[in-house]
Chain A
């Protein structure tokens, strides 16, 4: 049972983390070159118009006033309107549209990683130094070593161009209007809720390649971690005792070994998920999926500061939430961690 004190303590830690990230974002944006007012007004704009824009954005106020306003707005998750990428649209609206795209990709990628990585890691540990172990380790090493910008186009070439069984890009076929049935923003879930089977199949087919690309990378790390953790656990005295008492090998590993071996793996899964959110930029670019990662890169390129601030803080918030989940899972697996 998780104590509410433990969860509260972890939740309270979110506050300094988010204030810290907000301060870093604010300072980096102010130290980087470029004038947001000039970016909005355009290089040919008159000096008077640039001053008007500065006034409307509050850039004429002293920097500490801007900092205080920024922290107060960030606490309410209000970053104003996008300057360039989607003019006259609030950052919150932009993020609400884009975040589910990246989340969906990261969730499916992580599911592939977890459901393949954990069994492979256990198999590799139990059958140490066998041909299965060697093949799994080679596969894991290849998964970690092959960069997404190379494996992505290769998979597109094989499955889309040569075999022609999967689509190359996008989230769903252009024949369907997914906005009409939007509920969660996750295409596979929305199509399922609407009971549109053809759309659902199309969404799943579009998701297979990008999710596999990031899933394989995640799987490789998880299986390696699971293998080393399981190897350590199955050498413990209590496992030997369980075997000596006549318990079957499979039950010993799954009942006694698995739970203890999962503790370090949970950390990797948590960190991986945060990494998948940020690392989805490459996958989104390769498969032409317009998610939050691509949005952030675009916003940095064109100097759309409100979008940059909102996106980075969203990433930080999600990352800390995932870590909170990891901490809670820890305390379920090993209640001593709460102490």
Chain B
């Protein structure tokens, strides 16, 4: 079983490196979201009503974005407490606060990507329709 990571200030990498890691984390998910949104909106437009498909894609993106934001805040606010509780109760599942934050950051990035992708592709599609 892995122990909860030590968050001491000495072990932290420089700020630019931390920022780079975070940007990469959210950025790759964002690009994936944009690609997924583009493909889905174009495919859905060919098969059905363009307005409805754009609205559904954007709403799904905002659903993911909202879920990610709530999960991220929950991990930041309660993560350490959950880790300590797992240690105290000796029920460690391997869940850690940094892992949860990273996962939620990816979901936020993906959701935001879907929203942005839908917005750009949707503007074109709805403009043509």
Contacts and interface: CB of A to CB of B under 8 A. Distances in A.
B115 A64 contact: yes
Contacts, number: 72
Contacts of A25: 66
Interface residues of A, number: 22
A23 B58 contact: no
Contact of B62 (A27, A62, A323, A327): A27
B60 A27 contact: yes
B63 A10 contact: no
A13 B79 CA distance: 13
Contacts of B59: 26-27, 30-31, 63
A25 B59 CA distance: 10
Interface stretch (A14-22, A96-104, A187-195, A209-217): A14-22
Interface string A28-69: 101100000000000000000000000000000011100100
A21 B55 CA distance: 19
B67 interface: yes
A24 interface: yes
Interface secondary structure of B, over-half rule? helix
Interface residues of B, number: 25
Nearest to A337: B81
A19 B71 CA distance: 12
A168 B66 CA distance: 42
B58 A63 contact: yes
Interface of A: 10, 13, 16-17, 19-28, 30-31, 62-64, 67, 323, 327
Enumerate the 6 nearest inter-chain pairs by beta-carbon distance, A residue then B residue, closest first: A23-B66, A20-B69, A24-B66, A27-B63, A20-B70, A30-B59
